[in-house]
Chains A and B, each alone.
Chain A
Amino acid sequence: MIMKKSSQVTAKAECYVAEKYERQMKKGVLDMLVLKLLEKEPKYGYQIIQELKEESEGIFLLKDGTLYPILYRLEDDQMVLSKWSEPTGKQVSRKYYEITEKGLFNLSEISNTWKHMSNGIAKIME
Chain B
Amino acid sequence: MTAEKYVKTIVKKVKTSSKRKKEIKQQLLSDINSAVNSGATLEEVIQDLGTIEDMAQGFNESITDAEKKRYKAEKIAIILGIIAICLILLCAFIRWLLPQTSPIETSSTFDQATVEGVAKNVIDLMDADDYEGFRAISNDTMQKFCTDESLKSVKENINSNWGARGSIGNYYLAEIKQQGQKFAYCQVTVTYENTTATYTLTFDRYMRLAGFYIK
Binding site for B on A (CB under 8 A): 44-47, 49, 63-66, 68-70, 72-73, 76, 84, 90-95
Contact = CB atoms under 8 A, between A and B. Distances in A.
B55 A93 contact: no
Contacts of B129: none
B11 to A, nearest CB: 11
Contact of A76 (B26, B49, B55, B64): B64
Interface residues of B, number: 26
Contact of B26 (A64, A69, A93): A93
B50 interface: yes
Contacts of B64: 72-73, 76
A94 B34 CA distance: 9
Nearest to B48: A63
A91 B56 contact: no
Given A64-B28, A69-B63, A92 B49 contact: no
Given A63-B58, A91-B33, 6 more contacts: A49-B31, A63-B54, A64-B55, A68-B24, A72-B20, A95-B27
B30 A46 contact: yes
Interface of B: 20, 23-24, 26-31, 33-35, 37, 49-50, 54-59, 61-64, 66
B55 A95 contact: no
Nearest to A76: B64
24 contacts: A44-B30, A45-B30, A45-B31, A46-B34, A47-B34, A63-B55, A64-B28, A64-B31, A64-B55, A64-B58, A65-B56, A65-B57, A65-B62, A68-B59, A76-B66, A91-B33, A91-B34, A91-B37, A92-B33, A93-B26, A94-B30, A94-B34, A95-B23, A95-B26
B59 A69 contact: yes
A92 B28 CA distance: 11
A95 B62 contact: no
Contacts of B20: 72
A49 to B, nearest CB: 8
Contacts of B37: 90-91
Which 6 A-B residue pairings sit nearest by Cβ, starting from the closest? Answer: A65-B58, A69-B62, A46-B31, A46-B34, A65-B55, A92-B33
A94 B13 CA distance: 23
Contacts of B62: 65-66, 69-70, 73
Contacts of A93: 26, 30
A107 B35 CA distance: 29
A62 B174 CA distance: 77
A47 B66 CA distance: 28
Contacts of A91: 33-34, 37
B27 A64 contact: yes
A39 B37 CA distance: 26
Contacts of A69: 58-59, 61-63
B29 A92 contact: yes
A100 B50 CA distance: 31
A26 B54 CA distance: 18
A34 to B, nearest CB: 13
Nearest to B57: A65
Contacts of B31: 44-46, 49, 64
